[in-house]
Amino acid sequence: MKTKSFLQFVAPSVAMMVLLLAIPMATTFYLSVRNCALEMEMVTVEESTPFGKKETVTQRARMGPDGRALQTCAFVGLDYYRKVLGLDASAGDAAPAGPPDAGGTPAPAGDAAGNEFLGALTFTMIYTFTTLPFVLVIGFLLALGVNNVTNRLKGMFITASLLPFIITPVVAALSIKWLFRDNGLVPYLLSHVGIEVFWMAQAWSARLLIIVYGIWHVVPFAFIVLYAGLQSVPQDALEAATIDGATRWQKLRYVTVPHLMPLIVFITLIHLMDAYRVFEPVIVLTQGAFTTSVQYLTYHILLLENNPYKASAAAVLTLAGIVVLLIPLLVRTWREQKGGV
C-alpha cells in the first residue's frame, strides 16, 4: 500500500484516537507533574449557644472575588513518580518545592510505597503472563473442536462458548465470587470429599481465583477470532499436504498454525493491554486485601488518598508498562508489514 493511500485510510482513526486518547493522556501527564492546594486562612466564627455567644477560631479555604476557592499550584516534576515507585524516602506527600497535597493525607514511607507498587506490579505481571498461554491454547482447542462438529451443532457451541465474554466484567467476577465464597457451591461440593478451602480468606487462593476469572472471561475472545481464522485456511494447501502423506498433526503444525499466526499476535496484543489493566476481579474478589494490581493501585490512591495528582502519575506509569509489554510485538508486526510491502 502506498504511503498516501495508507495515510488517507488511517486518518479518521488517528483523528478519533487523538481526540479520545491522546488529549486525555496529555492531560493526565500534565496533572502528574504539578500540584495544587487550597489557600487556607484563619477565621473567627461566632456561634450562638444557650449559654451565650461563643467565638471559635477555625481554618477555611480563601475565597476569590468570583466566590470560588483559591488554589496555589506549583510544578513538582517527577516527585509523584518517585512517591509511587517508593523512591522518595520522605514520609509525607508534600512536594519539596511546592504546596501541600490536595488530599492532605500523609503517604506511607518510601519503602512502604515501593513495596506496595512492587507487589502490585508483580501480581499484574504474573496475571498477564499466566493467563496468556491458557487463553491462546484453550481458545485454539475450542476453535478446532467447534470447527469439526456438524453444522447443526455449531450454533449452539458458539453461543455457549461466547457467554463468559458477553457478561460484563463486574458480573462475571461476582459469579466467580458467589461460586467460591465460604457458603458457595464449590466449597460445598469440596466439603463432601473432605476438602475445605477458604478461597476468600487466603492470599494464594484469592489470586488463583483472579487468574481463573481472567482465563474464563477472555478465552471466548480468542476462540471466536481463531474460529474465524480457521474458515480462511487454504483448503488446497491442506489437500496437498494430505496427498504428500502429512498426518493431521503435521497439517496443523505446518499449515494451520502458520496461517493463524497473525491472529495469534493480534490476540496477544489485545490480551496484554487488557490483562495489564486488570481491575474488576481485584476489587470484586479481594477489595485489595490480599493482592493488588497497578490499575487498582491508581484507584486506591485516587479514592483513599484523595490525590488526583499522584493518581495521575500512577496512571502514566501503568500506560508506560503497557507500552513496554507491547514493544516486542509491535516491532515484529512492523517488520512483517514492512517486508510484505
Read off the CATH number of the domain in which 262 is found: 1.10.3720.10
What is the 8-class DSSP label of residue 234?
-
Helix, strand, or coil (residue 47): strand
Q: What is the pLDDT at residue 108? A: 43
Look at residue 104 and tell me whether its pLDDT is greater than 90: no
In one-letter notation, the amino acid at residue 210 is: I
Q: Give the residue with greater pLDDT, 109 vs 3.
A: 3
Cell of 99: 504546596
Banded pLDDT at 211 (limits 50, 70, 90) = very high
What is the predicted pLDDT for the residue at 340? 58
Residue 22 in any domain: the answer is no
Its domain, for residue 118, covers 110-340
- DSSP H or E run through 194: none
pLDDT mean over 242-247 = 84
Average pLDDT over residues 101-116: 51
Return the higher-pLDDT residue of 113 and 123: 123
Contact partners, residue 88, CB within 8 Å, separation at least 6 = 79, 82, 110, 113
User: For residues 57 and 65, what is the distance between their CA atoms, to the nearest angstrom?
Assistant: 23
pLDDT, tens digit, 9 for 90 and up, residues 44-64: 777 777 777 777 777 777 777
| Structure confidence at residue 89 (pLDDT) | 55
CA angle 33, 34, 38 (to 5 degrees): 160
Number of domains present in the structure of the chain: 1
Please tell me the distance from the alpha carbon of residue 31 to that of residue 308, in angstroms, as a whole number: 8
Query: With bands split at pLDDT 50, 70 and 90, how would you rate the model's confidence at 273?
Result: confident
Q: Does 93 score more than 70 pLDDT? A: no
Task: Flag whether 102 is in a domain.
Answer: no
- pTM over cut 0.85: no
Nine-digit cell at 155? 450454533
Judge residue 301's burial from the number of C-beta atoms within 10 Å of its C-beta, 0-12 exposed, 13-18 middle, 19 or more buried. Answer: buried
Do 320 and 277 form a contact (C-beta atoms < 8 A)? no
**Is 302 a member of any domain?**
yes
Q: What is the mean pLDDT of the chain?
A: 81
User: Which among 212, 226, 219 has a CA at the least distance from the CA of 146?
Assistant: 226
Question: Does residue 51 or residue 11 have the better pLDDT?
Answer: 11
Q: What is the pLDDT of residue 339?
A: 65
Is residue 35 included in any domain, yes or no? no
For residue 184, pLDDT over 70 is answered with: yes
- List helix spans (H) across the chain: 3-17, 23-32, 79-85, 110-148, 151-166, 169-180, 185-191, 203-230, 235-243, 248-251, 257-276, 280-285, 294-304, 308-340
Output the nine-digit C-alpha cell for 308: 488526583
Residue 4 lies in a domain: no
Q: How confident is the model at residue 82 (pLDDT cuts 50, 70, 90)?
A: confident
Q: How confident is the model at residue 219 (pLDDT cuts 50, 70, 90)?
A: very high
CA distance linking residue 68 with residue 55, whole number of Å = 25
With a cut of 80, say whether residue 6 has pLDDT above it: no
Count of other CB atoms within 10 angstroms of residue 88: 22
Residue 177 to residues 171, 208, 250, 265, 287, Cα–Cα distance (Å): 10, 12, 42, 31, 12
The answer to whether 329 and 267 are in contact (CB under 8 A) is: no
User: 196: pLDDT confidence band, cut at 50, 70 and 90?
Assistant: confident
| Segment 268-293 mean pLDDT | 85
Residue 263's contacts (CB-CB under 8 Å, 6 or more residues apart) are 225, 226, 228, 229
Q: Please indicate, yes or no, if residue 250 is contained in any of the structural domains.
A: yes
How far apart are alpha carbons 104 and 240 in whole angstroms? 72
Would you state the pLDDT for residue 114? 56
d(CA 96, CA 70): 21
